[in-house]
Structures are given as C-alpha cells and as structure tokens.
C-alpha cells in the first residue's frame, strides 16, 4: 500500500500509530491526544490478554509476539506468525483495515489464514475493541524472529482452499446481547464467545471442522484432552459453585481442581490477567446466574472422609495408597505446593472419564504461574498400570471422592487409550 493511501484510510478510521494519528486529529479539541492514545493502547493490551494472543503468538524460548508455536493439523504442522510491530517480520506495516481483515475475517495480505487463528470467534469483537487492539499492536516491541515455513503439504498449502472453507463453514457471527439479561452477564457472553474464544476448544466440531453452533460449549476432544462440557447444566451437576468457578478462572486453581495442559496456557496468558469484574462476568454467564449466589451452595456429601471398611475392600484402594496418596494425600486432601486435592475434583467428578484416563496415562508437566504457587509434575502411569488396574483405580476415585457411583470397565479405559494413541 502506498503511504498516501495508507494515511487516507487511516484518517478515515481516525486511528493509527502515533504520528499519523496526531496528524489526523490535530483539530481535535477534546482531551490531550497522547492521553487518549495511551488509554487506547492500555485497553488494547488488556484486550490482547483477554484474547490470549500471546498464548499462541509467543513461545517460551522466543520474543514477545514473535510467533512460532506449532499447531498439528490433519494436514501437517502450522506455525503461528510474528504479530509484533516489526515491519519486516511482523505486522508493523499493516493498515487498520488489513489488521481487521486478518483478526476478524481470517484474511491476511498473504492470503486466507488457517482457522487455527480463531477469527471465527474474533469476528464478534466490536469496533472499539478492534481499534484498541490495533493501537496496541502497532507499538509492541519489534520481534526480529522470522516466520517459520509451514509443514503443510499439497494441496492444503493452497490458501485458496481456505476460501472455500470460509464459504461453507464460517458464518461470520456477530455479537448480540441477550435482551433480558444484565449488562454483567452480557459482558461475560461477549468475552466467552468473542475474544475468549472458549468455544474453539469447548464446542464440538462437525465433519467440516466447524464448531457446532447448536451445541455451544458441550465439550470436545482437543490435543489429547477433553475440553469439558462447560454448559451451566453440566457445571452445576459437577457441583461448581460461583466462588469456586471464579477462583478457578482467576487463578487456575480451586477446590475443584487445577487447570492443566491447554487450559493452563489459557489461564497463564489470559484469564489470570483479567480484572475481577470480567471474571465475575464470565462466571455469571457460564453458570447462567445474574449475581454471585449468596446462599451457601451445598458441597456434595462424600461417602467418607477417612478410609472406611467399604473403601479398603475396593480393588482400587491399594493402588491409590501405593501410587497416589504420597502426593494427593491418604484422604485425597491434597498436599500444599505438591498436588491438588482429589476430593470433589471436577476432572474425576465428570461422568466422562476421558481426562482422568488421559492424566493417568500421560501425567501432567510441571506448570507454574510466575506469581502463583507451583505444583510438581504428575508422573504418567502408561507403563505401570494396566487397563484393569486403571479401571479399578477410577472406580475407587469415583466412589471415594465424588458423587459418581458408576463402575469403570476395562473396555472404557481401553477405548480411550486407543484415542490417546491416535488423536
């Protein structure tokens, strides 16, 4: 784009990086410009956290927003790109409209973007927030990291093909507030459906790989784990209270368990950065409640808090005592800074045992929040527990620590392990 054209586009939109903006608005008689701009940039920074941009565009060993995170797709490996303000490797030369087209429509100057970039959710971001994000991204520290070549083979490397996908699978959703709900609840809806892109993992996908809009947040397997059903019905059945859920979202830890793997990344880069108002909003929306409930919400009755005769007779009892109690406690009470409590744990409480099997099989890598307490890594038991032992152990975990009274079968465990091997 020629500079003159760029300036005219930008003037029309009354927004760009510093100098041009100053020129466009020099007749503005309101608050000093720099203050407006500083405010907009600060808002953009916060919104970038709400959108988890760095979760995908920053890798641990790399520069901020330098890209390079790998995504396994059925067609090969895709890498996120450099979205810092660097003019050579990043997006520093993007006009506002180019930025909008990339983030909201999945169309970058180089062609259509793969939907690993969640533009299908970001399409709901409103104009004010897009302006703030643009203001922020045009002044991030330039990252000099070049983009990585994608490992996606013919014919899927043809970005034209994505145009077809967009035609059939991208319905360009916009955000519509629900009329009879409070502004707080609608704020939660906006964040969950838009910037937060929770449905990109938590909503099942159809054969076209598009999220199923009539089954929002009902759960889906992504990256060897089930992003659980987080509809209000299911969260309530699993005995999530308003306070527990708000604490989980705000810190990644709660009496109902910890966030791990992909959800840990969402927590670390995004949800832990949000202010209390937005956490309350998201919690209100997820639980479909207007306010934090005042009534003491009842916790489920545990079968027992100390090992009873009944417990010790279950075949899983010995396995638990041998392999798990050292970290999670003899009564599942957890050990501070070592491992979370398993009493009332939502992963175990879930009637879908996918994640319990996945965690037992693969373990959990050490995960730490810079400002928060850290836990140990959890070992995997792929080679030390056979399917029968895993089934016995899960039956024990259910009956001992949750209200699930079902017996887990060897076949259930074997079926999930097969998915873990091929997923």
Given the complex with ligand HEC, which of 33 and 369 has the nearer CB atom? 369
Question: Could you say which of 44, 66, 92, 228 contacts ligand HEC (CB under 6 A)?
Answer: 228
Q: Does 221 bind ligand HEC (CB under 6 A)?
A: no
Given the complex with ligand HEC, which of 25 and 204 has the nearer CB atom? 204
Q: Tell me if 335 sits within 8 A of 354, measured CB to CB.
A: no
Region 126-155 residues binding ligand HEC, contact defined as CB under 6 A: 133
The minimum distance between CB 111 and ligand HEC, in angstroms, equals 8
Q: Does 353 bind ligand HEC (CB under 6 A)?
A: no
Given the complex with ligand HEC, which of 93 and 182 has the nearer CB atom? 93
The minimum distance between CB 392 and ligand HEC, in angstroms, equals 11
Q: Does 108 bind ligand HEC (CB under 6 A)?
A: yes
Region 331-350 residues binding ligand HEC, contact defined as CB under 6 A: 339-340, 342, 345-348, 350
Q: Does 324 bind ligand HEC (CB under 6 A)?
A: yes
Region 271-310 residues binding ligand HEC, contact defined as CB under 6 A: 271, 282
Q: Does 326 bind ligand HEC (CB under 6 A)?
A: yes
The reply, when asked if residue 56 is annotated as ligand binding, is yes
Q: Does 51 bind ligand HEC (CB under 6 A)?
A: yes
Torsion angles phi and psi, residue 260, rounded to 5? -135, 165
Instruction: Please state, in angstroms and rounded to a whole number, the distance separating the CA atoms of residues 56 and 61.
Output: 13
Q: Does 225 bind ligand HEC (CB under 6 A)?
A: yes
Given the complex with ligand HEC, which of 34 and 384 has the nearer CB atom? 384
Residues in contact with ligand HEC, shown as a per-residue x/- string from 175 to 204 under the rule CB under 6 A: -----------------x---xxx-xxx--
List the beta bridge partners of residue 70: 79
Q: Total binding residues for ligand HEC by CB under 6 A?
A: 73
User: CA 127 → CA 100, 133, 192, distances in Å?
Assistant: 9, 10, 17
Question: Could you say which of 170, 242, 260, 401 contacts ligand HEC (CB under 6 A)?
Answer: 260
User: CA 250 → CA 71, 106, 218, 374, distances in Å?
Assistant: 26, 29, 22, 15
The reply, when asked if residue 53 is annotated as ligand binding, is yes
Given the complex with ligand HEC, which of 40 and 227 has the nearer CB atom? 227
The reply, when asked if residue 324 is annotated as ligand binding, is yes
Instruction: Please state, in angstroms and rounded to a whole number, the distance separating the CA atoms of residues 357 and 125.
Output: 37
Q: Tell me if 337 sits within 8 A of 375, measured CB to CB.
A: yes
Given the complex with ligand HEC, which of 161 and 177 has the nearer CB atom? 161
Given the complex with ligand HEC, which of 181 and 323 has the nearer CB atom? 323
User: CA 255 → CA 149, 275, 333, distances in Å?
Assistant: 43, 21, 10
The reply, when asked if residue 11 is annotated as ligand binding, is no
Q: Does 321 bind ligand HEC (CB under 6 A)?
A: no
Q: Which residue of this chain has its Cβ atom nearest to ligand HEC in the complex?
A: 257
Binding site residues, as ranges? Answer: 53, 56-57, 198, 201-202, 324, 327-328
Binding site residues for heme c, as ranges? Answer: 53, 56-57, 198, 201-202, 324, 327-328
């Amino acid at each position: 784009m020629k500079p003159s054209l760029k300036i005219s586009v930008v003037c029309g939109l009354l927004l760009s990086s510093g100098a041009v903006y100053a020129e466009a608005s020099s007749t503005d008689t309101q608050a000093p410009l720099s203050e407006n701009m500083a405010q907009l940039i600060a808002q953009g920074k916060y919104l970038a956290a709400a959108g988890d941009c760095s979760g995908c565009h920053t890798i641990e060993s790399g520069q901020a927003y330098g890209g390079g995170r790998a995504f396994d797709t059925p067609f090969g490996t895709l890498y996120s790109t450099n979205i810092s303000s660097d003019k050579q490797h990043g997006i520093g030369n993007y006009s506002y409209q180019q930025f909008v087209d990339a983030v909201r429509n999945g169309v970058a100057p180089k062609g259509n973007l793969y939907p690993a970039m969640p533009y299908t959710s970001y399409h709901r971001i409103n104009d004010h927030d897009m302006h703030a994000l643009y203001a922020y991204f045009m002044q991030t520290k330039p990252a000099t990291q070049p983009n990585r070549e994608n490992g996606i083979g013919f014919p899927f490397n043809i970005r034209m093909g994505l145009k077809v996908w967009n035609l059939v699978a991208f319905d360009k959703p916009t955000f519509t507030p629900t009329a009879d709900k409070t502004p707080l609840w609608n704020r939660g809806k906006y964040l969950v459906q838009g910037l937060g892109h929770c449905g990109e993992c938590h909503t099942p996908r159809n054969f076209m790989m598009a999220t199923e809009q009539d089954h929002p947040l009902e759960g889906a397997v992504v990256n060897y784990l089930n992003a659980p059903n987080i509809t209000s019905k299911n969260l309530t059945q699993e005995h999530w209270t308003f306070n527990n859920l708000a604490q989980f979202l705000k810190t990644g830890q709660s009496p109902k368990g910890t966030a791990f793997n992909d959800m840990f990344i969402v927590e670390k880069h995004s949800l832990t950065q949000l202010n209390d108002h937005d956490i309350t909003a998201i919690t209100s929306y997820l639980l479909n409640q207007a306010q934090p409930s005042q009534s003491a919400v009842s916790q489920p009755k545990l079968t027992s808090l100390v090992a009873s005769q009944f417990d010790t007779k279950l075949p899983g009892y010995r396995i638990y005592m041998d392999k798990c109690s050292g970290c999670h406690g003899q009564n599942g009470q957890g050990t501070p800074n070592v491992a979370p409590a398993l009493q009332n744990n939502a992963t175990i409480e879930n009637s879908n045992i996918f994640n319990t099997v996945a965690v037992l099989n693969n373990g959990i890598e050490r995960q730490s929040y810079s400002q928060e307490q850290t836990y140990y890594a959890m070992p995997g038991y792929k080679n030390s527990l056979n399917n029968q032992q895993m089934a016995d152990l899960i039956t024990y975990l259910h009956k001992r620590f949750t209200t699930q009274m079902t017996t887990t079968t060897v076949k259930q465990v074997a079926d999930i392990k097969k998915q873990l091997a091929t997923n």
